[in-house]
Amino acid sequence: MSIKAAIYCRLSEEDKNKQSETDDSGSIQNQKSMLLQYAMEQGWELYNIYSDDDYAGADRRRPEFNRLLKDAEQHKFDIILCKTQSRFTRELELVEKYIHGLFPIWGIRFISIVDNADTANRGNKKSRQINGLVNEWYLEDMSENIRSVLTNRRVNGFHIGAFALYGYKKDPDQKGHLIIDEEAAAVVREVFTLFAQGYGKTAIARMLNDRGVPNPTEYKRLHGLRYQQPKTKNSTLWKYFAISDMLINEIYIGNMVQGKYGSVSYKTKQNKPRPKSEWYIVEGTHEPIIDRELWDRVQALISQRAKPFAIGTIGLFARKARCANCGYTMRSSKNRGRHYLQCSNRHVAKDACIGSFISVDKLEQLVTRELNRLAAEYLDKDALEQNVEFSDNLQGQKNRLLSDIAVYEKKVAEYSKGIRELYMDKVKGLISESDYVEMSKEFTTDRNRLERMIADGHDQLSEIEEKQAAGDNRRELTSQYTNLEHLTREIVETLIDYISVGKRIPGTRDVPIEIHWSF
């Protein structure tokens, strides 16, 4: 009965960087030739060649290595033949587990020809253990050296990641430096601006998806850039967490932030989060995409954790209205389609609070009236007319709106077609009545939402066309900003620190308020 030998070869990135193929390990081909010749000289039959290319000796996920172990356990061969023991593994733990433990149980002989390791020779077990210990020290020293170099580059603000953050590209002329990718950066700016204007993270993600904007991973794939393989399906879509992570990433204001994760051990590629105090943050290493004013406004909104009144928009006075009696932030409620603000402390205990209460519409009227009074009293309208800057890109805004509306209309047509096809499937008995109701309901909801967005888009188009027709009517346009009829979240966020709301005056509909301005 012939003796069967399995050959195992491994080439690491370190080997590829050697001066020539004759240095130390050489190439995979050199290893195979050496081992094949040795097996023939011994008269052994070759069972198979297992070869891992570009894998470290401490990587336990090597595919051919694991296939070798599985075949060894099933005793498909009698001998494992390697160039050196370190080609099989550099970990002393694995040396003891397999070479000195399981291989003898499985009836497998291990041989490495350069360092004379042979489990059939009881006399060189200590030599094999010393080889394992030396290799373990090598791994640890190499890990520390690499860690030291990377830490130094992080401390000095060099980008060392394999992938550039969405919105940036690696500078081809300067290693470790980022440059702006304008196409992606425009989306980043839009996300920050929309959030500052009051849109929620889920709503922003939905808007980008409705327009067919590829998410960061898909964008990089389409542009031939390096990217991390997604772990979930539907990876082309924007998700809540992608928007959330983007809004707090300091790299977008020109700061290099690295070291958020660290390896558990040099023996594994597993990483774990590190506390922010251990991150490497270097300011002003590259050109910012987001200016500091917009960044600060967004961070203030995030820290407030403002709750939405409705899906997709932050409440007009969220985190801005306080009870005049106890100072608690008033919370939103909804009744018969109208939004209200009330002090939540009134329910804590008897006589805990007077229970301030006001409708959002009423509060908006009071604030708007006061803003217009201040404008009339303190602003010089003639000076404003001379100095106000008007948008010169109305046509650009109109073109973008038309493009967005076209995308929405196409999606509406697709949803309508989907509903028709579902109905036909139900008629043919391909799907049940309950499945039809459930799936068509989802299609209908999305279609209705898009139709509302189309209607809003047409309203904005009408406003732009009116401005284009009016031309440079400065007094009329200026009055739109000094004679407000309605507020926006952006106006409230910019101008108001907080509003103190009292209890309704008995016998009247009047609710006393005190506005604390930010200016």
pLDDT tens column, 339-355: 888 886 655 544 556 67
- Number of domains comprising the chain: 4
- Kindly state whether residues 217 and 260 are assigned to the same domain: yes
Determine, yes or no, domain membership for 477.
Answer: no
203 membership: H or E segment, kind and range: helix 201-210
Q: List, for residues 415-451, the tens digit of each pLDDT value.
A: 888 888 888 888 888 888 887 888 788 778 878 878 8
Determine, yes or no, domain membership for 488.
Answer: no
Q: List, for residues 314-339, the tens digit of each pLDDT value.
A: 578 877 888 887 777 788 888 877 88
Q: List, for residues 3-26, the tens digit of each pLDDT value.
A: 999 999 988 755 554 444 444 445
Mean pLDDT of 359-374: 88
Lowest pLDDT segment from 133-142, 174-183, 316-325 = 133-142
pLDDT of residue 269: 54
- Kindly state whether residues 513 and 371 are assigned to the same domain: yes
Helix (H, G, I), strand (E, B) or coil at 222: helix
Is pTM beyond 0.85? Reply is: no
- Kindly state whether residues 226 and 365 are assigned to the same domain: no
Could you give the CA distance from residue 181 to residue 187 in angstroms, rounded to a whole number? Answer: 10
pLDDT of residue 149: 57
Determine, yes or no, domain membership for 250.
Answer: yes
- Kindly state whether residues 377 and 463 are assigned to the same domain: no
What CATH number does the domain containing 52 carry?
3.40.50.1390
- Kindly state whether residues 396 and 380 are assigned to the same domain: no
pLDDT of residue 381: 57
What CATH number does the domain containing 208 carry?
3.90.1750
Q: List, for residues 212-266, the tens digit of each pLDDT value.
A: 899 998 888 888 776 665 554 556 788 888 898 899 998 998 888 877 665 545 4
Lowest pLDDT segment from 8-22, 99-113, 364-378, 477-491 = 8-22
- Kindly state whether residues 207 and 254 are assigned to the same domain: yes
- Kindly state whether residues 68 and 125 are assigned to the same domain: yes
pLDDT of residue 192: 93
257 membership: H or E segment, kind and range: strand 256-258
**Other beta carbons less than 10 A from residue 448's beta carbon:** 12
For the chain, state the CA radius of gyration: 34
Closest CA to 165 of 209, 217, 236: 217
pLDDT of residue 468: 66
Q: Output DSSP code: residue 398.
A: H
Q: Buried b / exposed e across 463-473, counting CB within 10 Å, b at 16+?
A: eeeebeeeeee
- Kindly state whether residues 120 and 268 are assigned to the same domain: no
Percentage of the chain modeled with pLDDT above 90 = 15
Determine, yes or no, domain membership for 59.
Answer: yes
Percentage of the chain modeled with pLDDT above 70 = 75
Closest CA to 512 of 368, 361, 373, 357: 357
**Does the pLDDT at position 312 exceed 50?**
no
End residue of a domain, out of 152, 180, 203: 152
**Does the pLDDT at position 88 exceed 90?**
no
270 membership: H or E segment, kind and range: none
Determine, yes or no, domain membership for 255.
Answer: yes
Per-residue pLDDT band for 310 (boundaries 50, 70, 90) equals very low
End residue of a domain, out of 299, 321, 349: 299
Q: Say if residues 196 and 313 touch (Cβ distance below 8 Å).
A: no
- Kindly state whether residues 64 and 124 are assigned to the same domain: yes
- Kindly state whether residues 36 and 134 are assigned to the same domain: yes
pLDDT of residue 482: 64
- Kindly state whether residues 267 and 288 are assigned to the same domain: yes
Q: Buried b / exposed e across 279-307, counting CB within 10 Å, b at 16+?
A: ebebeebbebbbeeebbebbeebeeeebe
**Does the pLDDT at position 309 exceed 70?**
no
Could you give the CA distance from residue 240 to residue 243 in angstroms, rounded to a whole number? Answer: 5
**Does the pLDDT at position 490 exceed 60?**
yes
End residue of a domain, out of 261, 277, 299: 299
- Kindly state whether residues 376 and 395 are assigned to the same domain: no
pLDDT of residue 252: 92
Determine, yes or no, domain membership for 463.
Answer: yes
Determine, yes or no, domain membership for 159.
Answer: no
Determine, yes or no, domain membership for 479.
Answer: no
Backbone angles phi and psi of 279, in degrees to 5? -70, 160
Mean pLDDT taken over the chain = 77
Domain that holds residue 371: 313-384+495-517
Lowest pLDDT segment from 31-35, 204-208, 351-355, 425-429 = 351-355
